[in-house]
Chain A
Amino acid sequence: MRGHVSRWLRLAAALALGALVMAAVHAMTARATGPFGRAWAHNVEREINASALFYTELGDVREFTDRRHGRYVGRGANPSAGHLAPESAMAVE
């Protein structure tokens, strides 16, 4: 009986730990500095789903499939697009 209770206690503790991790992550994203903090803040600000598993999970699939109005229409090599500024690593405009 004691073993049975301790198993359920372990489950409760593990779930509580998971909830704590989530709360910590949320608090960190709002306050974190450095490259990680900037990257997460940027994703939150731009509402980017960084956890998408496949391209179709990035949002509306029509952005990829629509040949006339899709977001990814006619993207090819365009070497004149410019260089990245090396001085402000991870800077977010």
Chain B
Amino acid sequence: MSSELQKVWKSEDYWAIWFSIMLLAGVITGTIHGVPRPGTWVTDPRTAFAGKVVPIVTLALGLGALLTIGIWIMREAWRRFVPGYLVVFALAVLSFVAAGQQSIRAMGLEYVLWALALGLIVANTVGTPQWLLAGAKSELFIKTGLVLLGAEILFSEILRLGAPGLIVAWGVTPTVILFMWFFGTRWLRMPSKRLTIIIAAATSVCGVSAAIATAAACRAKKQELTLVVGMTMIFTVLMMVAMPAAARLIGLDVMVGGAWLGGTIDATGAVVAAGAMLGEEAEKVAAIIKMIQNILIGVVAFCVALFWVTRVDRDPSAPRPSLMEVWYRFPKFILGFALASLVFSFVLLPTVGDVRVGEILNVSKVFRAWLFCLAFVAIGLESNFKELARQLVGGKPIILYVVGQSFNIVLTLLAAWLVFGGVLSIGAP
């Protein structure tokens, strides 16, 4: 018991929660009223920094100081962390700059891809020196980012988004996850159950963000997450272009088309871009369906963490784990992630109002983006191409993705047609 109490101050899982509480408290109280990030640019990358150099340096030092204090309390080598962290932060800045280029943004190439690429380039050319690895705390960054992401999952919002959207998003998503899980583990016999569930969540929920949350929940290998992120992004770019064309070719109703895109395209930005190609109404329906799916990420991450602790990681010959054992083994930052969502949805939203919550999230989301960006730079620095290639042996991950996504496309089309096509009479809220 005492060792469990010690973990409160000594483990990354808890520190992800403490860091998030501190950052969110700063934003809610108005102490922190803005977080900078490089802006968009067309031909001159220097314009991404217009008026932002000093704020970004301040952020690097402030966030670094906060993380260093936590690392010092965890009794880790904080002196070695600082120089490595500063380089990782610099690479994260470069990743945001690359992702902020107008055409890159329009293509849907997210900052996590650039962060991964930059990390991988360094690791596979000059090699990542030990002093740099000391600052590449990928798990700490990702866990803290996830708890902050929890605040962005507003459960109360789904009530007003409407039953039709809920049926399309929440009816299809669990079905696709289960289908892909059984297809991957029983039919394809994927060597890694973790990789199977990450691909299933990324395909059916919301791409990269779902992959991050699920990978953290089942404590997947970094190479597995890297592979899914790369694969999801390639297919997202293809689907962003192909799906609106298919909707037009079939001659779908605008609402059905929007719901279809929202339920199938993985990344949120690509959903909006694809929806916009079908018109304003389709864009809004697509965005709302995606938002409902985004909200599902919390439920999925929680269920995956619980399933892993109670089933997958359990010795089959051992008796059923007690509640206390489940508690000991459960990843605590997932609880922080769920708690942040519940507090923002059911305490903060009714107390301070929807507009203020929007203002708070406008700031906290940038913190979260920085932490995810730092995490992916760190993952890239810790990976090598050979290990990544090993994950793809036999092409099973790609087969799982393609089969699962095809099933998703058909099932979502059916659900969208039934609900938004007027076949089932389900009214708007």
Contacts and interface: CB of A to CB of B under 8 A. Distances in A.
Interface of A: 7-8, 10-11, 14-15, 18, 22, 25-26, 28-30, 35-36, 39-44, 46, 48-58, 60-67, 70-72, 74-79, 81-86, 88-93
B203 to A, nearest CB: 16
Interface stretch (B22-30, B217-225, B358-366): B358-366
Interface in B95-126: 98-99, 101-112, 117-118, 121-122, 125-126
Interface in B286-302: 287-288, 290-291, 294
Interface string B388-429: 000000000000000000000000000000011110001111
Contact of A53 (B42, B110, B118, B160): B110
A36 B428 contact: no
Interface string B248-285: 11111111010000000001111011101111011011
Contacts of B207: 53
B313 to A, nearest CB: 28
Interface string B150-185: 001010010011111100000000000000000000
Nearest to B257: A84
A84 B269 contact: no
B253 A79 contact: yes
A18 B362 contact: no
Contacts of A44: 102-103, 106
A36 B273 CA distance: 12
B161 A75 contact: yes
A48 B104 CA distance: 11
B209 A53 contact: yes
Contact of A61 (B249, B276, B290, B358): B358
Contacts of B245: 35, 89-90
| 3 pairs of A and B residues whose beta carbons are closest in the complex | A76-B428, A52-B269, A62-B358
A22 to B, nearest CB: 6
Given A35-B241, A62-B354, 20 more contacts: A11-B125, A18-B121, A43-B276, A48-B273, A50-B105, A51-B99, A51-B107, A53-B112, A53-B369, A54-B149, A55-B268, A64-B157, A75-B165, A77-B419, A77-B422, A82-B253, A83-B252, A83-B253, A86-B249, A90-B248
Contacts of B149: 54
Contact of B126 (A11, A36, A90): A11
Contact of A48 (B99, B111, B242, B272): B272
B103 A84 contact: no
A62 B277 contact: no
Contacts, number: 243
B98 to A, nearest CB: 7
Contacts of B377: none
A39 B277 contact: yes
Contacts of A84: 247-248, 251-254, 257, 278-279, 282
B428 A58 contact: no
Contacts of B285: 75
Given A56-B361, A56-B365, A77-B420, A93 B279 contact: yes
A77 B428 contact: yes
A57 B209 CA distance: 12
Given A62-B355, A72-B284, A84-B254, A25 B248 contact: no
Interface of B: 42-43, 98-99, 101-112, 117-118, 121-122, 125-127, 149, 152, 154, 157, 160-165, 206-209, 240-242, 244-245, 247-255, 257, 267-270, 272-274, 276-279, 281-282, 284-285, 287-288, 290-291, 294, 349, 354-355, 357-359, 361-362, 365, 369, 372, 419-422, 426-429
B273 A50 contact: yes
Given A48-B276, A50-B270, A81-B255, A43 B106 contact: yes
A86 B294 contact: no
A51 B284 contact: no
Nearest to A60: B362
B106 A40 contact: yes
Contacts of B101: 22, 25-26
B289 to A, nearest CB: 10
B209 A54 contact: yes
16 contacts: A29-B103, A43-B107, A52-B269, A54-B206, A56-B362, A60-B358, A61-B358, A61-B362, A65-B157, A65-B361, A75-B284, A76-B427, A81-B281, A84-B251, A85-B248, A90-B277
A75 B428 contact: yes
B369 A57 contact: yes
B428 A40 contact: no
B109 A65 contact: no
A65 B354 contact: yes
